[in-house]
Amino acid sequence: MEARPRPELFDFHGVGMIKKFTENWDNIQNFKARADDILIATYTKAGTTWVSYILDLLYFGHMGPDGQTSIPLHDRVPFLEICKPPLPIGTDLADKLPTTPRLIKTHLPVQFVPKSFWEQRCRVVYMARNAKDNAVSYFHFQRMNSGMPEPGDWSTFLLNFMEGKMVFGSWYDHVNGWWEKKQIYSNFHYMFYEDLIEDCRREIDRLCSFLGLSPSAEEKERVKASATFDNMKQNKMTNYSTIDTMNQTISPFMRKGKVGDWKNHFTVAQNEQFDEDYKQKMKNPDLKFRYEI
């Protein structure tokens, strides 16, 4: 099979983007959120699928296996900004979603989020992941996904990551921008991948209290058990095996699911350079990440 041409990264209002995320821009900006919508926001590879599946199970897990065993998660939790015909367009999928509430996913930096989400006071769940593991995961994702720009080798990729030359822009701007939003917008739950790895049950409790849900202890255990890395890796509805731009023999979508895999990728010199640069970019002492647990 002929290799598909990779999309080119370009500057879009100061943020790195590729065409499939800007093609539908007017419809994205004019998207009509409903008051009970839940927006799941993340930087790419921060654990979006994991938190989306947990919310999907919390809201719809008790309704029988129907959707969860036959409709891939990416159709159940539409990706707002995606526009790559013939695949369904994110905004159309969201408009037609039969569930209430609608769970909607986005990787947009906060300044690009359609204003109706704020006007409707929608609940927002933001999940962040430490920069080093996020970068490693993103590198492998770009290697396996021909729908993303060519990543180059690891050292080139890491420099681009530090310079913010990435699809959806700079990790540093993303996590900080959403953190700042949380300070002024109260319907907001900011969570961390590392916390979810450390104690998934505690994080499910926190999510439930934010969402106003009160499932039984057994239901919460069921959610936790269904959303383990191993189960999601086996599950065709969550492992992205249905997306043909992803070559899972290069690197599986459900790759490692660990905190600290960066240590297997960063050289000592890269780590020192990264830490030095990080200090300059991450000045807010309240926003702290863990690089091992």
Catalytic residues: 107
* Nearer Cβ to ligand A3P (141/172): 141
String of contacts with ligand A3P for each residue 140-179, x by CB under 6 A: x---------------------------------------
Question: Per CB under 6 A, does 260 bind ligand A3P?
Answer: no
- Contact segment (CB under 6 A) with ligand A3P among 44-52, 89-97, 177-185, 211-219 equals 44-52
**Three-state DSSP class for residue 105:** strand
Q: Helix H segments across the chain?
A: 25-29, 48-60, 66-70, 73-76, 90-96, 115-119, 131-144, 154-163, 171-184, 193-198, 200-211, 217-226, 229-234, 268-281
68, 91, 130, 137: which one binds ligand A3P (CB under 6 A): 137
- Contact segment (CB under 6 A) with ligand A3P among 14-22, 59-67, 88-96, 253-261 equals 253-261
* Nearer Cβ to ligand A3P (27/231): 231
- Contact segment (CB under 6 A) with ligand A3P among 74-82, 110-118, 209-217, 227-235 equals 227-235
- In degrees, rounded to 5, the angle at the alpha carbon of residue 201 between the alpha carbons of residues 198 and 289 is 35
- Contact segment (CB under 6 A) with ligand A3P among 55-63, 161-169, 225-233, 271-279 equals 225-233
Residues 6+ apart with CB under 8 A from 179: 128, 190, 284, 286, 287
Question: Per CB under 6 A, does 76 bind ligand A3P?
Answer: no
Q: Tokens for 189, please give them.
A: 């739950």
d(C-alpha 136, C-alpha 157), whole Å = 9
The pairing of strands 38-42 and 15-17 is unpaired
Closest separation between CB of residue 201 and ligand A3P, Å?
A: 13
**Structural contact between residues 92 and 157, judged by C-beta atoms closer than 8 angstroms:** no
Binding residues with ligand A3P: total (CB under 6 A): 20
Question: Per CB under 6 A, does 48 bind ligand A3P?
Answer: yes
Closest separation between CB of residue 186 and ligand A3P, Å?
A: 25
Please choose, from the candidates 71, 95, 93, 72, the residue with its C-alpha nearest in 3D space to the C-alpha of residue 82: 93
**Structural contact between residues 123 and 211, judged by C-beta atoms closer than 8 angstroms:** yes
Question: Per CB under 6 A, does 232 bind ligand A3P?
Answer: yes
* Nearer Cβ to ligand A3P (260/286): 260
15, 38, 41, 46: which one binds ligand A3P (CB under 6 A): 46
* Nearer Cβ to ligand A3P (30/228): 228
Question: Per CB under 6 A, does 261 bind ligand A3P?
Answer: yes
Please choose, from the candidates 92, 71, 95, 96, the residue with its C-alpha nearest in 3D space to the C-alpha of residue 82: 92
Q: How large is the angle between the packed helices 268-281 and 131-144, nearest 10 degrees?
A: 110
Question: Per CB under 6 A, does 262 bind ligand A3P?
Answer: no
Cα-based torsion angle of the residue sequence 215, 221, 223, 229 in order, rounded to the nearest 10 degrees:
160
Closest separation between CB of residue 213 and ligand A3P, Å?
A: 19
Give the footprint of ligand A3P on this chain (CB under 6 A): 42, 44-50, 133, 137, 140, 227-229, 232, 254-257, 261
